[in-house]
Structure 1
């Protein structure tokens, strides 16, 4: 059989990489596990029965199931339309590339990529499998598989460990195994855990799958996740999340995948970021870094100033201006009596109804008035310092909102957000992997972001995310020297 000839003409992205003169780090390169090989690993981890259970689960749910359900059933049970046709089928070379590690490695120069963080496809949502035994086995098998197939390519490809978060103990156990035993350096946590609402499920156990709430680990969680955050710091691991919001809240259309897809990564990421922030996680673990992938950055550029705005109006001192005890009831009654007209006349004894319920002097205990208490914020700059250094935003190459991360005049304290290239290669939104990098540079060519911002986007910020937690993260890679020089220039930051 003759050898397949790969493209010889340099791609737009390869030419751009030569022109830039600094390394490109892609933080979200999706690959497709080779199913039979993964199942072999799963059998070794959990046995043939678990492997069969997994195959049955992925075969009988999701896309195929939705297509085989009648319209009447979809309406009656409100079954959301799931993703479909999500791989680059039009580009057979790219399809094979994301499935074969040696081919991925061989084509990196064509893509203009020096180093990539590799994410799975088949087991991307393994940490969210509800069945405890199946989840633990699939997650462990996924991490073993990734470590094995990418080990010989570690100078340019670094796979993430997938980490379940159903309990802190489970998360710690898998993280320690992934780092200490398998040698994985990056980790992706489940963005949330669906938990049954105890009061409802206790009374109506048959509703367990529907009567759930979303646990995002920071606030209102039944578990204390601090031991896990501490373990991540100890092991020098930055944490990313690739959390899906499809099927939650308003993203439950029974007919339209696009309706469910648009904005779902951003919405789910925002929920996690707010939870971590309000739960004081970035305050207690200032060196811990979180990356939110595929949701863009515009939600972060909105959340960051919004947190400051809310604190300015609802901090422990400012909130007292809304205290009902401040109401001058005598003046209030007099104003209504003089200006209220006929529809108020003779009804002032009912003033406690409607919009003026506050005159009832609703009592909120002093200890419940400061909703920023767990963070210890004393000034607006504290929010900046607990948000910007800890949160990173993965953005796809052709996302037009990239500029919002670098809009210094529009962001509080003229502090840009830490956005970085997250190509999402391997999914339907990347039609040709070799074009992704060049597509992202069009914002520089159009003057939307500066050349300096672009370097931060594709090199400085990814390095800050991973080397900021683990100075040796890029040791032994093709970008080691450039990273060392950058860290020296930035003072190790």
Structure 2
């Protein structure tokens, strides 16, 4: 019996729920896998046979997979983090084929209850992190050509991201213009950061440089001014999204346990980028530009939003004066030490400031311009934090991630707001064993009292509609949900 004959003839529970809900469901994170022989044809077209040979020899992301070539002694010696393995659900052959065959994916999408999906192909998510400049740019260009071609016939229900390298703003702008203007792609993925060698270590061997790195998040303390890139996104009416990985960062460097390294790594990378955009003032300087962070869930977004407001309320320039060392009555402090201090305190008045905030470097006040760390973000009151954060940041969340409850807990969130979580199913990876269960998983949030029906609509429909039409009102024109998108825009 063939696989096709084994397919169910009745509607899945997800499809039935979609009919019941009566509004379009948008999945913002469906993973696909490139068919490598066909992709290499595109890579050769872009970079020639030498690039193809080098690609085969040094696969993108090879640094992440060094672990597999090392002995246990080498893993201990270099503390090489255990990378992902067995990342595809293989038990269902139909699901496995679906992630690499565009026609089959298009045909089956509604089995998951999904009307429209944004695709994050596997290689495309890795390509911007390739270290070699020539290889990185060639792979990104070839990936964009390949995906634009193979998914173009199915654009009524699916759209692939364009993968944009961003080691410099110039290379990002060049690929962005090509992908949008020449290929007609309409959504992009940028890396959430690039790793750069700390300048003081550039004179050391490559093995040292590989470890002596810093994380450049493009918006705070960056090596370059990325404002021209953000301006180009606004000009081309495209929303930057990121699917950044924090595997191998700091504590996520177990040499033996992938799960230890995996838990929380997308959220960690997303948070680093999100904080940089906020504190670096990008959301102030570009008031119409929104950003989306995929696969990290939304609990971290709710936590960060609350945390920034708490830090503003306890560390704003006015409140910070409560901590000014100039406030200290040193004579009064010395008298208290004399009266209440034991023998170990006597005769040490000149050292009283050690640990109390006015010893050594603390004796000199910092530059007044350095006191207000919220200045670049343009924050003068807590409501400004709300506007700079909630109006700009969206958080992709798997359909079975109950921690989305934090994002929709309006009683707990400052100002009674929802943090903008939306469906990013991660279909195609090991954590989605049944790609047809996406909508039924999400609807279980309502059945279990985690979401209200209204929350669910924001999660599945309103937030993604809001994001993708924020710069481009015609984003869904020509798609299966064009009418519903237009109705939403008219209401909004």
Instruction: Settle same-fold status: TM greater than 0.5.
Output: yes
Evaluate the alpha carbon distance shift between residue 3 and residue 212 of structure 1 in structure 2; reply closer, same or farther with a 3 A threshold: closer
The alignment partner of 2:344 has SS state of: coil
Counterpart of 1:361 in structure 2 is 363
**Is this contact kept in 2: 1:324–1:358, CA < 8 A?**
no
**Within-5 A mapping of 1:201-212:** 201-202=202-203, 207-212=208-213
In structure 1, C-alpha distance between the alignment counterparts of 2:246 and 2:61, rounded to whole Å: 21
1:403 aligned to 2:405? Answer: yes
In structure 2, C-alpha distance between the alignment counterparts of 1:73 and 1:154, rounded to whole Å: 47
**Is this contact kept in 1: 2:39–2:146, CA < 8 A?**
yes
Counterpart of 1:420 in structure 2 is 422
**Within-5 A mapping of 1:57-456:** 57-58=58-59, 61=62, 65-202=66-203, 207-358=208-359, 361-456=363-458
The alignment partner of 1:123 has SS state of: helix
Evaluate the alpha carbon distance shift between residue 252 and residue 445 of structure 1 in structure 2; reply closer, same or farther with a 3 A threshold: same
Counterpart of 2:465 in structure 1 is 463
Deviation at 1:7, TM superposition (A): 2.1
In structure 2, C-alpha distance between the alignment counterparts of 1:299 and 1:59, rounded to whole Å: 29
Evaluate the alpha carbon distance shift between residue 140 and residue 242 of structure 1 in structure 2; reply closer, same or farther with a 3 A threshold: same
Evaluate the alpha carbon distance shift between residue 382 and residue 34 of structure 1 in structure 2; reply closer, same or farther with a 3 A threshold: same
The alignment partner of 1:208 has SS state of: helix
**Is this contact kept in 2: 1:280–1:375, CA < 8 A?**
yes
Deviation at 1:60, TM superposition (A): 9.4
Deviations 1:131-181 (A, max 9, x none): 000000000000001100010100100110001110000000000000000
Deviation at 1:4, TM superposition (A): 2.3
In structure 2, C-alpha distance between the alignment counterparts of 1:230 and 1:324, rounded to whole Å: 42
In structure 2, C-alpha distance between the alignment counterparts of 1:175 and 1:60, rounded to whole Å: 22
Equivalent residue pairs, number: 490
Deviation at 1:322, TM superposition (A): 0.9
Deviation at 1:376, TM superposition (A): 1.6
In structure 1, C-alpha distance between the alignment counterparts of 2:453 and 2:170, rounded to whole Å: 44
Counterpart of 1:484 in structure 2 is 486
Evaluate the alpha carbon distance shift between residue 142 and residue 352 of structure 1 in structure 2; reply closer, same or farther with a 3 A threshold: same
**Is this contact kept in 1: 2:29–2:117, CA < 8 A?**
yes
**Is this contact kept in 1: 2:284–2:388, CA < 8 A?**
yes
In structure 2, C-alpha distance between the alignment counterparts of 1:149 and 1:308, rounded to whole Å: 45
Deviation at 1:202, TM superposition (A): 2.8
**Is this contact kept in 2: 1:294–1:424, CA < 8 A?**
yes
In structure 2, C-alpha distance between the alignment counterparts of 1:465 and 1:145, rounded to whole Å: 26
- Unpaired stretches in structure 2, ≥5 consecutive residues: none
Deviation at 1:67, TM superposition (A): 3.2
Deviations 1:256-277 (A, max 9, x none): 0000000000001000000010
Deviation at 1:350, TM superposition (A): 2.3
Deviation at 1:59, TM superposition (A): 8.6
In structure 2, C-alpha distance between the alignment counterparts of 1:439 and 1:79, rounded to whole Å: 36
Deviation at 1:193, TM superposition (A): 0.4
**Is this contact kept in 1: 2:325–2:358, CA < 8 A?**
no
**Is this contact kept in 1: 2:60–2:130, CA < 8 A?**
no
The alignment partner of 1:90 has SS state of: coil
Runs of 4+ in structure 1 deviating by more than 6 angstroms, as ranges, are none
Counterpart of 2:24 in structure 1 is 23
**Is this contact kept in 1: 2:40–2:52, CA < 8 A?**
yes
In structure 2, C-alpha distance between the alignment counterparts of 1:179 and 1:59, rounded to whole Å: 24
Please, what TM-score do these two structures have when normalized by structure 2?
Answer: 0.97
Deviation at 1:339, TM superposition (A): 1.1
